[in-house]
Amino acid sequence: MNQVNISDLGNYAGEEVTVKGWVYKTRSIGKIWFVILRDGTGLVQCVVVKEETDDETFNLEPILTQESSVIITGTVREEARSVGGFELGVKSIQIIQVSEEYPISPKEHGTDFLMNHRHLWLRSKLQHAILRVRHQVIKASRDFFDQNGFILVDSPIFTANAAEGTTSLFEVGYFDRSAYLTQSGQLYQEAGAMAFGKVYCFGPTFRAEKSKTRRHLTEFWMIEPEIAFCDLEQDMDWAEKYVSYIVQWCLEHCKTDLETLDRDVSTLEKVVTPFPRITYDDAVEILKKNGVDFEYGGDFGGTDETVISEQFDRPVMIHRWPAEIKAFYMKRDAENDNLAMGVDMLAPEGHGEIVGGGQREDDHDTLVRRIKEHGLPMEPFQWYLDLRKYGSVPHAGFGLGIERTVAWITGIRHIRETIPFPRTLTRLEP
Ligand code: 4AD
Ligand code: MG
pLDDT digits (tens, 9 = 90+) for 32-70: 999 999 999 999 999 999 999 999 999 999 999 999 999
Question: Does 342 contact ligand 1 (Cβ within 6 A)?
Answer: no
DSSP-assigned letter for residue 7 = G
pLDDT tens digit string along 215-257? Answer: 999 999 999 999 999 999 999 999 999 999 999 999 999 999 9
pLDDT > 90? residue 84:
no
Ligand 1 contact, 243 CB (< 6 A) = no
- Report the pLDDT value the prediction gives residue 161, as an integer from 0 to 100: 84
CA of 238 to the centre of ligand 1 (A): 17
Distance of CA 184 from the midpoint of ligand 2 (Å): 11
Q: How confident is the model at residue 378, as a pLDDT?
A: 95
Q: How far apart are CA 415 and CA 406, in angstroms?
A: 8
pLDDT band at 75 (very low <50, low <70, confident <90, very high): very high
List the one residue out of 127, 143, 169 whose CA is nearest residue 260.
127
pLDDT of 1 > 80? The answer is no
150 or 163, higher pLDDT: 150
DSSP 3-state assignment of 106?
Answer: coil
Mean of all residue pLDDT scores within the chain: 96
- Name the pTM for this structure: 0.96
Contact (CB, 8 A) for 309 and 347: yes
Q: Whose CA is nearest to atom 20 of ligand 1?
A: 401
Report yes or no: 35 and 21 within 8 Å, Cβ to Cβ: no
Does 430 sit behind a cis peptide bond, omega within 30 degrees of 0 on the bond before it?
A: yes
